[in-house]
Chain A
């Protein structure tokens, strides 16, 4: 049960930061997403995001900062294993499922459905 509460609070908090940035700055949602994935990567590289994941679980991995975390974690893991080449293989390797699912399902559903008529 505590796991769910932590996921809710951490995940909700990360989204609330995003909303604050949208309302208080001129940042568009696209820029927010780019900013969040980059921040996630930086925090993961510094070893900070791992601690947030340990507490928040899905609350830390489901927001897009978690995507950045998985990219950076993968890159560093592959560097440990394969040397410098790992910096170029690990990011995609670790986040392959998210990227591939987004491309494949995204394409399939875009083709299968039509948008609601503009009001």
Chain B
């Protein structure tokens, strides 16, 4: 027998279930869009690796193209629409890093090319570089100490 809800029970039920499924929906979207962006990267890398330019050059050019695409699609106002749908799926890949540079820089162009574009480019990329580079220096120093003690 089917259970019948009163209006209040039904609303409570909706309230309880809705946020949970919204999180699940967001995660699925992030997974698919993020995974798809990585497939594009894998495709570029495979094509480039077949050109006989070496593994390092192939992955470097892949990063170059992905960064360009992220910046370009932000410039033509498409990347932010993808972002509204995909959330972290478009933020976490390297294309999202390019997006985090172009988006605030375009926004603050009216403040000039130095303190507007030049400075705002690093609104998010700045912290990423600060923590990433600092962590890599620590990793390098620890690696040095470990090799010394061997």
Contacts and interface: CB of A to CB of B under 8 A. Distances in A.
Contacts, number: 284
A118 to B, nearest CB: 10
A88 B105 contact: no
B11 interface: no
A84 B94 CA distance: 29
A87 B91 CA distance: 28
B34 A110 contact: no
B106 A19 contact: no
Contacts of B44: 58
Nearest to B23: A23
B98 A61 contact: no
Given A61-B59, A98-B67, A91 B43 contact: no
Contact of A4 (B43, B131, B133, B140): B43
A9 B29 CA distance: 13
Contact of A76 (B67, B80, B93, B139): B139
B2 to A, nearest CB: 32
Contact of A38 (B46, B75, B101, B135): B135
A12 B33 CA distance: 7
A87 B147 CA distance: 13
A102 B140 contact: no
25 contacts: A7-B39, A8-B39, A12-B36, A15-B92, A16-B28, A16-B89, A19-B31, A21-B88, A44-B139, A58-B45, A62-B37, A64-B92, A66-B94, A68-B132, A72-B139, A83-B144, A84-B144, A88-B140, A91-B137, A97-B60, A101-B64, A102-B67, A106-B101, A107-B121, A113-B106
Interface of A: 3-4, 7-24, 29-30, 32-34, 36-38, 40-42, 44-45, 56-59, 61-68, 71-72, 74-76, 78-80, 83-84, 86-88, 90-92, 97-99, 101-103, 105-116
